[in-house]
Structures are given as C-alpha cells and as structure tokens.
Amino acid sequence: MSKIIFIILLSIGVLFNLFGCIGLLRLPDVYNRLQSATKCVTLGTCSILLSLIVYYGFNEIGVKALIAIPLLFFAATVAAHALIRGSYFFGIKLGEKSIKDDYKEVAGAAENKESKK
Amino acid sequence: MKYIFAFIILLGFWLLFTFNLETHNLIVGAVASLIAILFFAKHFVKPVWKMLQPQRYFWFILYLIIFIWECIKANFDVAYRVLHPAMPIKPGIVKVKLNLKTNMAKTILANSITMTPGTISVDLIDDVLYVHWIYVSSTDPEEYSKKVAGRFEKYIKKIFE
C-alpha cells in the first residue's frame, strides 16, 4: 500500500517538474518564466520529498526530507523575489502582451535607495 | 529570554538533522547553537511572549490548510496556461495595498502571494506591495487587492500581530 502511494506522489512530482520546464521554454518573457519556474518546480519537488517520507517512514532520512520542505519553500520564494526585482532594475522590459505596469514610477527611487546602502 | 528561545529552537533543529541523542552529539550541537545565536539572535522575533499564545498556533494550522489548497490550485493554473495551445496570459505589474503592520507579517504574506495562482511579489515599499500577475483580470484597484491579498490577510493578522 505504501509503495503505491510512493509511486503516485513521485509521479505527480516529476509531472509538475516537467510542466515547469515546459513553461520555462514556452512563456514569452523573464517574469512569466519565473512564475512557472517557482510554482510548479517547488510543489513538484515537495511532492518528491513527501514520497521519500512515505517510502522510508519516520526515520533519519524521512525527517530530513520533512525539514527540507519549508526550507525549500522559503528559498524558492525569496529567490524568485530577488530575481524578478533584479531583472527589473537591470532594465529588462515586460513582454509585449503586458497590459499594466504600476512599478515603473517607483522603480527608479527604489534602485537609488538600494545603491546608497 | 530571546536568547533562550533561539537556543532551544536551534538545538531542536540540530537534533532533528543529526537524529541521534548521544552525549557527544548534544555537546557539539549546543556549542554550534551558542556560536550561531551570538551572531544572529538580534534578528530573532522581537516580542517573544507572542510565541507562547496557543491561539496563534490554531490559526497557523488553519492557515496552512488553506495555503496548501491554494498552492495546489496555483500549480494546476500554471500547468493549464502552459499547456494550452493559445497560452491565455495577460501579464502586468499591479499595486496592492496591505493592512499589516509588522515586518514579519508582511514577509510571510509576500512569500504566500508568490506561491498563489498567477502572482509573484516584486517589491515591498512601506505599505504597498507590487505584484506581477500573469492574468490581470480586472483594472479596479480594490477588487484585485481583495483577490490577491484578501485570502490570507486576516489569518496572517491573527498569527503574527
């Protein structure tokens, strides 16, 4: 029984990682690509780690997998924020399909504040 | 008080990672935690007594369930947009006003928004969060503030403030 759950969770994880990679190739600009890279890949990897907990039980390896889930979550979200903000300051324009940009008026001031620190 | 809390949490993590309870392991863990809090305890949460209120943990568990549900929804949303032949995206950066006060609560809300359907937080300036949205469904500021942040804001207010 636990082996079936293990295989199902592992398949879901690998499938979502695949969707994330397809999104990375298909979406138009860096901002949309980061969307698929953070969401799909984080949940896919969390699912693979959960399958490890099911397979090994609550012992040395399972506990490490359990701790890795929140660490991965914080690392992925903070990295996405840093990357998206950095690429905006670097001067990469939003893609052609974009319809709204509220960040434009404050980005210059924010960047100046950052460089003064 | 703050130092004792940081020490207990760090030592707990050490024991979970190494997963044995022998004396030499405990001593090494204690020394490592002491060195770590010497440098980093000043960044620990400010009012420590707030960590001892049980109702915060109750709201945290409720929030976790809602968050995981939203997270799964977000993945199906992104998978749908990626696999659809026409790619139904309408991206843009929108301004969202927050009602939270402490830095901790704002950080957690920004991280949660990154994991929810179609949104990723770009920057936080004072009370305003700039969010990159993959499908801007309305142009009314109040409506999309509610859509992006409203789901989590009331829970985070109860947990972290």
- Is any Cβ of chain A less than 8 angstroms from the Cβ of B75? yes
Max CA pair span of chain A:
59
Phi/psi of residue B4, each to 5°? Answer: -65, -45
What is the full per-residue pLDDT of chain A (117 aa) written as tens digits?
889 999 999 999 999 999 888 888 888 888 888 888 888 888 889 999 999 999 988 888 888 888 888 888 889 888 988 888 888 888 877 777 777 777 777 777 777 776 665
Contacts of B122 (CB under 8 A, 6+ apart): A81, A84, A85, A88, A103, B93, B130, B131, B132
To probe the interface with B, which of A35, A42, A47 has the most B CB atoms within 10 Å? A35
* Strands A100-101 vs B119-125: parallel, antiparallel or unpaired: unpaired
> Residue B46: its pLDDT value, please?
67
Give domain limits for chain A.
Answer: 2-116
Furthest C-alpha separation in chain B: 62
Asked if A68 reaches chain B (Cβ–Cβ under 8 Å), the answer is no
- Residue B61 and residue B40 in one domain: no
Tell me whether residues B111 and A39 touch, CB distance under 8 A. no
Closest CB to A84: pick one of B79, B111, B122: B122
Residues on chain B touching A31 (C-beta within 8 angstroms): 91, 120, 132
What does A40-68 look like in DSSP terms, one character per residue?
Answer: HHHHHHHHHHHHHHHHH-SSHHHHHHHHH
What's the ipTM?
A: 0.80
Number of domains in chain B: 2
Chain B residues in contact with A113 (beta carbon < 8 A): none
pLDDT computed for residue A116 by the predictor: 67
Residues B58 and B104 in one domain: yes
Instruction: Give residue A2's pLDDT.
Output: 85
State the DSSP H helix or E strand holding residue B94, giving kind and residue range, or none if neither: strand B92-97
State the smallest CA–CA distance between residue B49 and chain A in angstroms. 24
Q: Are A100 and B17 within 8 A, CB to CB?
A: no
- Residue B153's domain comprises 53-160
Q: Residue A74 in contact with residue B112, Cβ under 8 Å?
A: no
Q: B42 and B66, same structural domain?
A: no
| pLDDT at residue A117, rounded to an integer | 59
Domain co-membership, B34 together with B102: no
Percent of chain A as helix, strand, coil, to the nearest 5: 80, 0, 15
Residues B44 and B123 in one domain: no
| B126 and B58 in a common domain | yes
Both B88 and B130 in a single domain? yes
Question: Are B115 and B81 contained in the same domain?
Answer: yes
Q: Is B68 found in the same domain as B27? A: no
Q: How many CB atoms lie within 10 A of CB A9?
A: 20
Give the residue among A45, A43, A25, A41 at the shortest CA–CA distance from A33. Answer: A25
Structure tokens that stand for B129 in this block: 């969060």
Q: Say whether A38 and B123 touch across the interface (CB within 8 A).
A: no
Q: In angstroms, what separates the C-alpha of A113 from chain B's closest C-alpha? A: 11
Same domain, B60 and B133: yes
One domain for residues B14 and B42: yes
Q: Give the count of beta carbons closer than 10 Å to the beta carbon of residue A11.
A: 13
Report the C-alpha gap between A11 and A16 in whole angstroms.
9
Distance of CA A16 to CAs A34, A96, B76, B77, B133, Å? 15, 27, 9, 12, 20
Per-residue pLDDT of chain B (161 residues; tens, 9 = 90+): 778 888 888 888 888 888 878 888 899 999 999 998 888 877 777 677 777 788 888 888 998 898 888 888 888 888 888 888 887 888 888 888 888 888 888 888 888 888 887 788 888 887 888 888 887 777 777 777 777 777 788 888 888 77
Strand partners, A26: none
Residue of B nearest to A27 (CA): B82
Q: Is B118 left (phi over 0), alpha (psi -120 to 50) or beta?
A: left
pLDDT in tens, B89-122: 888 888 888 888 888 888 888 888 888 877 888 8
CB B76 within 8 A of CB A40: no
Which of B64, B115, B121 to mutate: most A Cβ within 10 Å? B115
The pLDDT of residue A10:
93
Using a CB–CB cutoff of 8 Å, tell me whether B92 touches chain A. Answer: yes
Q: Beta-carbon neighbour count of residue B33 at 10 Å?
A: 19
For chain A, say whether B139 makes contact (Cβ under 8 Å): yes
Do residues B10 and B43 share a domain?
Answer: yes
